[in-house]
Structure 1
């Protein structure tokens, strides 16, 4: 993924690329219904199905340009935290998609249709799980109250341009542009923002109230939201009034903080959660991603946040692994895994360390052992598939095909699946997997060309099942492109 310096080129037309989830990968399974979506509403307000399609299209464009943080362990953690908050946020039945951004900027965002974005920098700033939960709960509050759709109700025709502006701002902010990114977003929809300013302040309070309630019901201290926002204010003050990216899009006023403080003090916590070691471990991974050039800074930052000793040991082991001290790293992580047998991320981390050191047989054995204890664990399943590519591509294909069915919005899974298909003499299916990876990352023209290659291979090999599937997806992809041209 490359950083972008000019995001205004991503206009409203890009957001018409409304792609559904990818198809099934059981060879003999017929394709599902991939009807071309409508991106306009006959009523005065966008419908939820339309929001989902727009949100997925937005995500694909974002992936094409933003620096992604590819960390299956952190991904699973954030998804589990969102799932914990979701039932208490008024979003039951909503399918969310989490995207992680490799940026040290303090930011998170929510996009209509259930897209949640989290920067690695948010972990660096939030030294407790409840702080991270407060930001996610606030974002889920925006989604549950359909603030974007409600804000567009008075000017429905501005919906796609407004989302394009939001995309531009988020891309520049993710790449380090900060104020410039938000300035672009605001400048390109100035009339809309001016018209809706008071309305958006009300939206922020609504999102706070929904978020506070969701936190309390999920077992988190709602006061953490107040502490988090005040800490952001202090950070902005220390930086000479230059606020974190999150505050640029979610301004915090004293009246808003007072309202949140009052409401938080009235909320009882349902089944309070104990401090999470898992959060501290994921935070260690985030800090290491941010400070990859100088891991000592990651260790210092983690210690300053008062992280548990076991989290510091875990980070030290990951640093040892990066230095090539694989045996020491594995001894330490194995010891932590024995001390905390309920944390699946520890044995998954050990398998990851073994794999990165080129110890593929060890990685396979460790992964299989963990999957016997916790079948379907996504980070371990992906690691197993990746390690099997070096030893048994046919088995890797089966593992990754199953994972792609469970993770139809995960581009990296399809990257690995394409490689497994190629190595196991499933060339046509490999090209198809590659095409799916391309469409998931916003490259629809390249995806269509890839399907053309896949079709030729399938016909040459006489693989009628693959040929049928490829033709169906080609029709779908052409439909997406036609829709794009209309906007």
Structure 2
């Protein structure tokens, strides 16, 4: 049995300490680093911890897509689907992957991964939503845990072995990773194939119900799976990566079509009337074709993207080429035409920041935040811009963001810079250590804590020194558990 990891503190503990000046640090909240064992059965808490540990290792290997606008969109899509997915009280976390392969995945404990390639393939929001809904169906039915149910004494190790294979696959090794994952599962389940088919049908059923009740067109699931099937035939039997883990048979496709034909969307969301999805798709295409942006334009035009989305993509390309004035003018015109779409003024603030126009980025961000105080992408731009103008204010903005998003390594990286530039050196090293452990680099994180400890001792900062020592013990315990796992 795995060594039980003592209760520790994840990034939230750092946030509590950073909430005030180091000399006045508050008591930490008890959140807990991922613990990989101790339970005799795969319960939801154990799955949660395993999934979070897996995510850290995934980040260390996979090319993550760090786009706060796309991140916010996918998180809103997940939030819209979850109430109808039999996932009440599930703590989800979304990770985006910078890969042109068509793939999405769900890992025990509420980890949901989306490749940029899904946006490239799905030229309508409802189709992308159907894939996400299907993945939520796998989570709600606890398919990983159920596939281990015949080996009760080794459920957690067996699940981890499968996730290790999925880690390889999701980070780019494709068939090799899937062979490892499937081999682990086959060793425990002689009737793996029948379970796989049943699980896929269950996920289809839950996904269709969820997307329909959330206001999406259930026929979109039929359309995107048929498109995947066509791609297989056009590519000589080489399936999209998604189908390696989600085998699609004619009978399964017929079952999806039959079920979808009996359903009808029950509510309409205002987001369906906006070009938001197509603008996020434009961002994905530009990321995947950053060296040849005209390919992104061509692919967006091949779908049913509205003219405003095409103009948005053109503005992003113009900004990339260094003409910030022209890009900002177009984004401002689009914002006037679509005043309910915060993506547009937030994108303008980001363009201003990337052009080195920090004061303008601050002004634009503040203007939008007066209307939408909680808009995460805009707050992130504001924090980045303040780093260049007012590190103390950047620290405040980024500290608050980190408190709300304790699983986001990008925010902790920026917080480390803000802490260092505002004279909070020991806390800056501690924030950097949190960024590293969230990114799966636990050895580097521990070394960073050693540096933080030296700085805290030099400065006589007892509060920081105490917190650093606690975190160091947590990190060491976590590393030892990973090694035994």
* TM-score interval, smaller chain: over 0.9
Aligned to 2:163: 166
In structure 2, the residue matched to 1:288 is 286
- Compared with structure 1, are the counterparts of its residues 376 and 155 closer, same or farther at alpha carbon in structure 2 (3 Å cutoff)? same
- Counterparts of 1:225-374 in structure 2 under 5 Å? 225-273=221-269, 274-374=272-372
Correspondence list, 1:22-421, <5 A:
22=11, 23=13, 24=15, 25-27=18-20, 28-33=25-30, 39-40=36-37, 42-43=39-40, 45-156=41-152, 157=154, 159-175=156-172, 177-192=173-188, 194-273=190-269, 274-421=272-419
Using the alignment, how far apart are the partners of 1:215 and 1:411 within structure 2? 30
* Matching of residue 432 in structure 1 with residue 430 in structure 2: yes
Query: How well do the aligned residues superpose, as a CA RMSD in angstroms?
Result: 2.2
Structure 1 residues 282-291 or 32-41, which shifts more?
32-41
SS in 2 for 1:318: helix
Q: 1:194 to 1:121 in 2, by over 3 A?
A: farther
Q: Deviations over 1:195-223 (max 9, x none)?
A: 32211211110011000000111000111
Deviations along 1:124-176, one digit per CA (max 9) or x if unpaired, are 0000000010000000000001111111111241543543443444434543x
Structure 1 CA distance for aligned equivalents of residues 106 and 32 of structure 2: 26
Is residue 17–residue 57 contact of structure 1 (8 Å, CA) maintained in 2?
no
2:61–2:171 Cα contact (<8 Å) kept: no
Q: Displacement, 1:42?
A: 4.8
Q: 1:196 to 1:422 in 2, by over 3 A?
A: same
Does the residue aligned with 2:109 lie in a helix, a strand or coil?
coil
Indicate how the Cα distance of structure 1 residues 102 and 16 shifts in structure 2: closer, same or farther if over 3 A, else same: farther
TM-score (norm 2): 0.93
Secondary structure of the residue aligned to 2:187 is: helix
Partners of 2:455 and 2:375 lie apart in 1 by 34
Cα distance 1:235–1:406, how it changes in 2: closer, same or farther (>3 A)? same
Contact persistence 1:414–1:433 (CA under 8 A):
yes
Give, in whole Å, the separation in 2 of the partners of 1:224 and 1:189. Answer: 31
5+ long unaligned stretches in structure 1:
1-11
Per-residue deviation, 1:189: 4.5
CA distance 1:160–1:344, shift in 2 (3 Å): farther
Deviations along 1:383-423, one digit per CA (max 9) or x if unpaired, are: 11111111111110111001000110000000000011111
For residues 192 and 437 of structure 1, the distance between their equivalents in structure 2, rounded to whole angstroms, comes to: 36
1:462–1:18 distance in 2 versus 1, CA, 3 Å? closer
> For structure 1, which segment, 381-390 or 161-170, has the greater mean C-alpha deviation from structure 2 after superposition?
161-170
* Deviations 1:2-24, CA, capped at 9 Å, x for gaps: xxxxxxxxxx99x9999864122
SS of the aligned residue for 1:133 comes to helix
Q: Is the 8 A contact 1:435 1:450 kept in 2?
A: yes
Tell me the secondary structure at the aligned position of residue 390 of structure 1. Answer: helix
Contact 2:293 2:317 in 1 (8 A): yes
Give CA deviations for 1:46-91 in whole Å, capped at 9, x if unaligned: 0000000000000000000100100000000000000000010011
- Larger mean CA deviation between 22-31 and 33-42 belongs to 33-42
Measured after TM superposition, the shift of residue 187 of structure 1 is 4.0
Deviation at 1:478, TM superposition (A): 2.0
